[in-house]
Chains A and B, each alone.
Chain A
Amino acid sequence: MSLGPHLLLALLEGLVGACVLALTALGLALVFGVMRIVNVAHGEFFMLGAVIAAACAGLVGDPPWLAFGCALLVAPLAVAAVATAADWAVLRRVRYDPESTIVATIGLLYIVQQSVLVLHGPDARAVPAPFYVRLDLGWFGYNGYKLMVAGAAVTLLLAVWLGLGRTRLGLYMRATQQDREMATALGVPVRRVYATVFALGAALAAVAGVLVVPIQQAHYLMGLDPLLLSFIVVIVGGLGSLKGAVIAAFVIGVSDGFVSVLFSPTLAKILATLLVAMVLVVRPRGLFGTSEA
């Protein structure tokens, strides 16, 4: 393949990859931004979304768009319910202490993952996309559904961004993010905001899982990678900053599209991981805001 189409493909893959990344990381960014906690079970919420989509495909069958629609309704609700239960039973009780929360969400990770193993089995299941179009670009073909995923990611990002800026809940969230005690003093129901944000973050992860699963496969161990990628995006972008996370997702996604085509993809991953660690080392305070001692 000549250079032009090669670059076109790298760009296309990079952009779609970036959208998927941003979509995957959105929930984590929101939760970290508002609550200052790291949800290690984020990847499992993503996996739950994908597995629920596979279950819907199995139950509803044809047509695929109907099963997909069901999944898009059921998955975020079900996963938000799981998250709310976890918030109520565990996180609230440890007062969202950062380290206890990490330990608790590691525990949650195992429980969710192993429950899926029991209920869904160990198989990787393909889930049909709601529609299938192969776009023939002359030099190579491309899956039209991937472009829809990218579109959906952009829409969701905009929705969350608008929601934060224009709604009362968004106002509460920003107030809580900036100063939890002051927000409480001003009558913001912080506890309810926390529960809502945690459920919302989980629902977003589930939606990402539903959207992404037709271009991947549903598997009970699929959660770890999205988790690590989300960490990378959220950290590079600046924790708590949605805009930063989006920019980071695009920089990482597009550069990954090029780097792993030109160099070894594993090497690219090693370098990206180390880069993220160094960002944290060099600017811990800047990226973590002021809540860290």
Chain B
Amino acid sequence: MGASRGGDESTSSSSQARRISRRGALKTGLAGAAAGAGLLTVGGIPAARAAGSDRPIRIGFQVHRTGIGAVYGRWYERTANAAAAYINELGGIAGRPVELVAEDDGTDPRRGAEVVEKLATREQVDFVYGTLFSHVVIGSAPRAGELKIPYFVVSEGYHVASGKLNRYVFQPGITDVRSQITAVAGWMMGNLGKKVAMIFPDYAFGYDHRDFLSAAVEAGGGTVTARIAIPPTETAYSKYFPRIPADTEVLYHVMVGPGVLTFVREMGEHFGSRRPAVFGFVDSLEGVPMTSPGLEFLDGTYLWEAMPRQAGQYDTPHERFYRERVGVGPDGASIRDPKDVSTYSHMFGCWETLFAIKEAVEQSGYRDPTPADRKALIETLEGFHGFNEGRSHPQGPKVFDGRLHQCFGQQFVSKVNAGKLEVVHRTAIEDSRYEPAADYTKMAL
């Protein structure tokens, strides 16, 4: 797949990377001392910078530790730390250790921009990475662009590929919502029915689903029988279900936020056994045990997954390796706490993005946060065509579109069976492609 050399270990094989790596080995002592000095500054510049290319690669990690995104944030942080630890075991990036500098943004766009500022100018990180919620991405991206710091988001929003961000923003580790919908809509209509009623949250994330699924359904010869938008603060859902017309064949749902369990439970109470086929996005149930009270109703319904939560459903050595390293058990919960369920269909993006950064750094010869090095990194990344499946990309192979700064990958459809998610269909990468609407490579750097 084009520029990627894939392979399990992603060891640096280019001569340049090897050279840096050797030099790195000679000067580890100095780099270590500088790293130990931490934030001690010399004339406003962290001492670590003085060590030049042998200092660690510092990656700012913008994380939702608090606010509405905190459940995702916790797993994003675990995954990112696991990925960084593994990369360091492999010898780091271009022979240099990786250091994550995490900072909470409270899932708030104003703080998001301030965090980018702090990471870039005070912590002097090489890149900023890890943002999930779309409004935080959109609020932070302009400042990243102004600071000309590469900004890698793990958001699954359609904002990157829509072209409304800037040339410094990339999403190489997780697919966007438009491609996910495009990929699974065909299967849904072919197997469950063509008369679709939609229930989605009454805000931007929901509108992406509304618009792209409507388009896909109509393109596939189906009809949308109802579009039901539910306010994000809603706590009771029963009153919405009567709006679903009786001739509906498929009920399509995607809800996020703390109300999702109530939503599913009340959907179950309302319909009982006389329900249409149900197809949902696992976003509704990320971080939620499938054994939660009320979820019995989901038995026999279908869910999109980006990466199967249940072990053995996509059984590759890479997936097993990744699961073990992040500390996720067979049911998708933390090994230490069975109630602490992961956000398995999103967090792999943190793992894969870090490896995408690694590959881009090593192939571009990036050393320091200078304009020239950043330019080389961005142009190298834009030249990538994809990533091979492997330990570095356990979710599956990826196609990368340099114009869109966005990757494309396989998707899964799973059926709920006695509280377990069993994969019934895997889409091809081609199923998720759409007509590109942007070309970042034409923007100024």
Contacts and interface: CB of A to CB of B under 8 A. Distances in A.
Contacts of A140: 241-242, 270-272
A269 B231 contact: yes
B239 A216 contact: no
Contact of A128 (B246, B258, B270, B293): B293
Contacts of A261: 239-240, 242-243
A265 B231 contact: yes
B263 to A, nearest CB: 10
B370 interface: no
B82 interface: no
B197 to A, nearest CB: 12
A123 B71 contact: yes
B333 to A, nearest CB: 12
Contacts, number: 94
A6 interface: yes
A5 interface: yes
Nearest to B257: A124
A126 B294 contact: yes
Nearest to A12: B238
Interface in A254-293: 257, 260-261, 264-266, 269
A142 interface: yes
Given A124-B71, A126-B261, A143 B266 contact: yes
Nearest to A114: B66
A219 interface: yes
B269 interface: yes
Nearest to B72: A122
A16 B266 CA distance: 14
Contacts of A10: 239, 242
Interface in A110-126: 117, 121-124, 126
A17 B236 contact: yes
Contact of A136 (B262, B272, B287, B288): B272
Interface in B213-256: 229-231, 233-236, 238-243, 246
B231 A216 contact: no
A78 to B, nearest CB: 22
Contact of B66 (A122, A257, A260): A122
A5 B66 contact: no
B283 to A, nearest CB: 14
Contacts of B288: 124, 126
B238 A142 contact: yes
A9 interface: yes
A142 B262 CA distance: 13
Contacts of B269: 134, 141-143
Interface residues of A, dominant DSSP: mixed
Contacts of A132: 293
A122 B392 CA distance: 30
Contacts of A186: none
Contacts of B233: 225
A221 B239 contact: no
| Best-buried of A122, A129, A141, A261 by chain B (most CB within 10 Å) | A122
Contacts of B271: 140-141
A216 B246 contact: no
B14 to A, nearest CB: 42
Contact of A122 (B74, B236, B294): B74
A217 B262 contact: yes
A215 interface: yes
A1 interface: yes
A139 B415 CA distance: 27
A126 B272 CA distance: 20
Given A141-B272, A264-B229, A269-B231, A1 B242 contact: yes
B292 A9 contact: no
A222 interface: yes
B70 interface: yes
B192 interface: no
Contacts of A44: none
A122 B70 contact: yes
B252 to A, nearest CB: 19
Interface residues of B, number: 41
A257 B236 CA distance: 10
Contact of A266 (B71, B202, B261, B339): B202
A129 B265 CA distance: 12
A142 B268 CA distance: 9
A219 B69 CA distance: 12
B259 interface: yes
Interface in B48-78: 65-68, 70-71, 73-74
B246 A221 contact: no
A216 B68 contact: no
| Best-buried of B240, B243, B269, B288 by chain A (most CB within 10 Å) | B269
B159 to A, nearest CB: 23
A216 B241 CA distance: 17
Contact of B68 (A1, A134, A221): A221
A5 B234 CA distance: 22
Interface in A92-119: 117
Contacts of A222: 258
A185 to B, nearest CB: 46
Nearest to A212: B235
Nearest to B73: A122
Contacts of A266: 202, 229, 231
A87 interface: no
A80 to B, nearest CB: 25
B62 to A, nearest CB: 16
B242 A225 contact: no
| Best-buried of B67, B246, B260, B261 by chain A (most CB within 10 Å) | B261
A16 B236 CA distance: 10
Contacts of A5: 242
A217 B229 CA distance: 20
A121 B258 CA distance: 13
A141 B275 CA distance: 11
29 contacts: A1-B242, A1-B246, A9-B242, A13-B238, A122-B65, A122-B71, A122-B73, A123-B71, A123-B287, A124-B257, A126-B292, A126-B294, A134-B269, A134-B272, A140-B241, A140-B270, A140-B271, A142-B269, A143-B265, A143-B266, A143-B269, A215-B236, A215-B262, A216-B262, A217-B258, A217-B259, A217-B262, A225-B235, A261-B239
Given A141-B269, A141-B272, A265-B231, 9 more contacts: A122-B66, A124-B257, A134-B269, A140-B272, A143-B269, A216-B259, A225-B233, A261-B242, A266-B229
10 shortest interchain CB distances as A-B pairs: A122-B70, A124-B258, A219-B258, A128-B293, A13-B239, A141-B272, A1-B242, A6-B242, A126-B292, A126-B261
